[in-house]
Structure 1
């Protein structure tokens, strides 16, 4: 599929997803919502992909919702909010929650403005790297709205409740350095895309089965019961031990670099 508002390519088993609407500061319109949801499904089906890097073209990662474009058709905007069951993600929430559900690590590289919808999308990543002077905000209060794109799932894991409330109630704009101190970012870097690529390559040196199992284990267990976490540890470990990639990792550890075997596609969970 050819995309209009995003670029997508896979290099060395790393998927690069780039918001590509720099003339609009990568503001999110209906086409972008649809394309992001499509590319998430595409990545999920490709078991050869080892990591995902999401970035934005131009001076800003994403300035938020393209309000003028989106509300030209109120019916389309309303369709974003519809869902079959209250506890499931709608199409607006999937552009954040969809990254969390992928079996591979997702890294966001952020520069310039990361406001509103941009912030909600980035909350879906496993890692967020931004420039020290990036401009970040949960901006929805400015429009008399609440954050409703699924970022709440990550926000409750990253910061104290009072900090989350302050950011959401005031639409406060903070720098990358401030976001790092609050726990919203993994790290800051003058070149987030380069740092994200290095992290993706570092992770890719390890078994894709153990990496995906770690993501699933921690995402499901971080706020669950101790009983469930211990059960998952055992079940996931057994599955990893019987996988082809564990055998390859064991082989590579006992042989020199000239005899290393490449990993197989990751197992399905």
Structure 2
């Protein structure tokens, strides 16, 4: 059974405090129960304000945030997580990720701090982000807590790839897709548009339905109510096997986020 709700609200780039808080509250009131943020996004306070503004009880919200790569030293993990709790206005974080295994990331020290937060009940679940199969296997030998999610870039232009997906699934690790629209590029792909036309749907809904067909959770960014609600309706879109195969076979393979020092470039 999956730990992470299949559809969440991504907040990367949503750095206007009022807009961010409104987006979170709107998403929760529209039925979302998964909200994703990060120390790097500099909007945890606004996300917390949005959760407080919503009528949805805190215990029904699956709240995820991520430790900044510069805060991955043992002491900094503890200190920065306390700061995240304060900014978010919550007592616990449902899912805390290692955002990137770069900069201050040290497997033994970083993951020992995550274990201590988990054991103390400060966080309910441990996650990783942008981890390769090799980094996942290494982390599993160090952590006592289970890894419940690996958040990586996935969209029709950078589809299911091996051995990453099989490694995650072999260890019951949910795959969470960030940039599910490739910052809009996937929405202009002819195959995505053709499938959308066939279903009288939108390219964004096709991308989300395709991810769901691969049992991948998605955290699309959205701000206005219409966009938030349209993404939610993607849960009702049933793609055919032929649709899924066509989307899987898109021959372009483009990684939108590929910073210097990324683990796959070493």
So what's the TM-score if we normalise by structure 2? Answer: 0.30
Higher relative contact order (CA 8 A, sep 6+): 2
So what's the TM-score if we normalise by structure 1? Answer: 0.30
